[in-house]
């Protein structure tokens, strides 16, 4: 039986979101990853998951009350070392923006009042940062999208989106490591394998990585099946 909390958490910045879940707000994705790593290393937590602007901590509610856990989390956060400047791993990902693999590119470009070629030029001109993984295994949320390319999610999500698909929505670029449902407008697809079940690190993309996109044609897409 879960232990009854001696009190509800009142620690600033720490909130209860479930019987055994507490949430810590962070100022940005990089800070969320920093705090998550520190919490994993300094506490007896069952799981620590970093989001875009928060960290969710699962604790053993048969051993700790929510109040005690919140105090421990707040103490750990306050003692977290200052973030240093870390050289993030950088990769280049080839993307085919042709209509067959980028079914929403034309409608997205038209809605933005630009040509598909202008869209591709703007999308490949930026450097992106992997802010977090989530939604489905390995799905990467990338920050850094040109604000002029900001579009909403699809009104009706697709039942299946192919692995390697590149979507945009809500000011971000999203990369699908695995096939599955999705509501992001799909503007292209990479031929690179973003998931390899036989590798020591199955998912290529990790939080903190820097990503650049390189446009390729349909012929290159058909022949390039390597990792980025």
Q: Are 68 and 50 in contact (CB under 8 A)?
A: no
pLDDT tens-digit profile, the chain (228 residues): 444 444 444 556 788 888 999 999 888 888 888 888 889 998 889 999 888 888 999 999 999 888 899 999 988 888 888 765 555 678 999 999 998 999 999 999 999 999 999 999 999 999 999 999 988 889 999 999 999 999 999 999 999 999 999 999 999 999 999 999 999 999 999 999 999 888 888 899 988 899 999 999 999 998 876 656
pLDDT of residue 86: 56
What are the domain boundaries of the chain? 14-78, 90-223
Burial class (CB in 10 A: 0-12, 13-18, 19+), 199: exposed
Q: Does domain 90-223 have CATH number 2.40.50.420?
A: no
Question: Cβ(174)–Cβ(188) under 8 Å?
Answer: no
| 133 strand-pairing partners | 140
Distance separating alpha carbons of residues 205 and 215, to the nearest angstrom: 19
What pLDDT score was predicted for residue 34?
86
- 77 CB contacts (<8 Å, ≥6 apart)? 13, 24, 35, 38, 39
The answer to whether 65 touches 5, Cβ cutoff 8 Å, is: yes
Q: Which residues contact 72 (CB under 8 A, 6 or more apart)?
A: 43, 64
Using alpha carbons, list the distances in angstroms from residue 162 to 135, 179, 181, 198.
Answer: 15, 5, 9, 20
CB of 105 closer than 8 Å to CB of 99: yes
Question: Which positions ≥6 away from 141 have C-beta within 8 Å?
Answer: 52, 130, 131, 132, 133, 134, 135, 172, 174
CA distances from 133 to 136, 139, 164, 195, 222 (A): 8, 5, 14, 13, 27
Same topology for domains 14-78 and 90-223, yes or no? no
How far is C-alpha 48 from the geometric centre of its chain's CA atoms? 15
Residues contacting residue 57 through CB under 8 Å, at least 6 positions apart: 21, 22, 23, 24, 39, 43, 45, 47, 48, 69, 73
Class of domain 14-78 (CATH, top level) = alpha beta
Q: Can you tell me the distance from the alpha carbon of 145 to that of 157, in angstroms, rounded to the nearest whole number?
A: 21
Find the helix or strand (DSSP H, E) in which 11 lies: none
C-alpha dihedral sign at 142, 144, 149, 151? positive
């Amino acid at each position: 039986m879960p232990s009854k909390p001696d009190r509800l958490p009142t620690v600033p910045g720490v909130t209860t979101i479930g019987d055994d879940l507490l949430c810590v707000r962070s100022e940005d994705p990089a800070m969320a990853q920093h705090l998550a790593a520190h919490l994993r290393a300094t506490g007896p937590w069952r799981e620590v998951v970093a989001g875009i602007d928060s960290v969710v901590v699962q604790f053993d509610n048969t051993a700790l009350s929510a109040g005690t856990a919140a105090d421990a989390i707040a103490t750990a956060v306050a003692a977290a070392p200052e973030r240093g400047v870390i050289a993030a791993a950088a990769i280049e990902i080839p993307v085919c923006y042709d209509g067959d693999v980028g079914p929403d590119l034309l409608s997205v470009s038209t809605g933005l009042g630009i040509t598909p070629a202008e869209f591709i030029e703007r999308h490949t001109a930026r450097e992106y940062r992997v802010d977090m993984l989530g939604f489905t295994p390995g799905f990467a949320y990338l920050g850094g999208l040109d604000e002029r390319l900001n579009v909403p999610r699809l009104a009706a999500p697709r039942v299946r989106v192919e692995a390697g698909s590149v979507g945009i929505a809500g000011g971000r670029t999203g990369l699908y490591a695995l096939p599955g449902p999705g509501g992001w407008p799909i503007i292209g697809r990479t031929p690179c394998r973003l998931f390899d079940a036989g590798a020591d690190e199955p998912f290529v993309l990790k939080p903190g990585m820097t990503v650049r996109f390189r446009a390729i044609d349909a012929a290159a897409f058909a022949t390039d099946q390597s990792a980025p």
